[in-house]
Amino acid sequence: MRDVQGDADYRKIPIKQVGIRELRWPVLLKDKTRGVQPSVAKVSMAVDLPHNIRGTHMSRFVESLQTLEAISPESLERVLDALKERLEAQKAFLTLQFPYFIAKEAPVSGQRSLLDIECVYRAQKADAMRLRMEVAVPIHTLCPCSKEISAYGAHNQRATAKVEVETNGFVWIEELVQLAETGGSTAIYPLLKRPDEKWVTEKAFENPRFVEDAAREIAIRLESHPRIAWYRVSVDSIESIHNHNAFACIEKDWEDAKP
């Protein structure tokens, strides 16, 4: 059968990325406490395509994914290398988005339960591999203005602190989550008994935070972290007194990234 994809192309337009998206795939993740943790990822894979070739070979993306072992910088790089080789590309891209569960203890009762964190790994390789990790961590923010001007109470809400980093060494998901949680008036827990709820309520009231505060508190810690070369922080607050969200975003300039 003729290989139509391999036809010559005369339109002189190189393609930055061509591949597959919205593929779901079971994955295994390194877990700081339990060794390994299963999850389900949404996967995107792509390569570049030179101007003189008509099409890529889509089935090879899925084939390359089948060799993926437990997710690590090394296993991601092996898939990128396979893509480059099998598809004769200069550059390969692999993105995985998946929920990851963290065991959390309630602050007073100590009861344990699981908190889901939405994570994204974005890997690409031309010569050297670059890897971005992103975690979206639920936090609780209590409004400093509302507390200051009101006789009692203060509006508060669930917010999401999204932290995206490039590292110059290994960093656990767990570590990024802890870092993101420092941005909130308090952390979020999957399971709280009454003494825990009292603790969380009072802790938040003592520690009011705008989205701007939350983003800055997280940025300070990312800035001083020895293995984080670059970061972007974005805090989105599901405002409880409005039907829209408030957000603040801080990003390290790429030129200032630590080597």
Residues 131 to 190: which contact its own copies by CB under 8 A? 138, 140, 142, 144-146, 148-158, 186, 188-190
212 binds its own copies (CB under 8 A): yes
193 binds its own copies (CB under 8 A): yes
| 220-237 b/e (C-beta count within 10 Å ≥ 16 → b) | ebbeebeebbbbbbbbbb
Q: How far is the CB of 72 from its own copies (least distance, A)?
A: 18
1 binds its own copies (CB under 8 A): yes
Q: How far is the CB of 79 from its own copies (least distance, A)?
A: 15
Q: How far is the CB of 193 from its own copies (least distance, A)?
A: 6
Select the residue interacting with its own copies from 79, 200, 221, 230 (CB under 8 A).
Answer: 200
Token code pair at residue 129: 């591999």
The amino acid sitting at 135 is V
Q: How far is the CB of 190 from its own copies (least distance, A)?
A: 6
d(CA 139, CA 157): 9
CB 186 within 8 A of CB 204: yes
192 binds its own copies (CB under 8 A): yes
Residue with tokens 């308090």: 186
Token code pair at residue 54: 């008509």
155 to 140, 148, 171, 254: CA distances (angstroms): 11, 11, 35, 36
145 exposed, middle or buried (CB, 10 Å; 0-12, 13-18, 19+)? exposed
- Its sign, for the CA torsion 181, 182, 188, 189, is positive
Shorter beta-carbon distance to its own copies: residue 72 or 150: 150
Stretch that binds its own copies, among 20-28, 78-86, 162-170, 175-183 (CB under 8 A): 20-28
Shorter beta-carbon distance to its own copies: residue 127 or 253: 253
Give the orientation angle of helix 173-181 with respect to helix 211-223, to 10 degrees.
Answer: 140
Stretch that binds its own copies, among 69-77, 79-87, 119-127, 244-252 (CB under 8 A): 244-252
Give SS3 for 117: strand
243 binds its own copies (CB under 8 A): yes
CB 228 within 8 A of CB 171: yes
Shorter beta-carbon distance to its own copies: residue 131 or 191: 191
Shorter beta-carbon distance to its own copies: residue 170 or 251: 251
Stretch that binds its own copies, among 79-87, 126-134, 172-180, 212-220 (CB under 8 A): 212-220
d(CA 111, CA 93): 41
236 binds its own copies (CB under 8 A): yes
242 binds its own copies (CB under 8 A): yes
80-119: which residues touch its own copies (CB under 8 A)?
99, 101, 111, 113-116
49 binds its own copies (CB under 8 A): yes
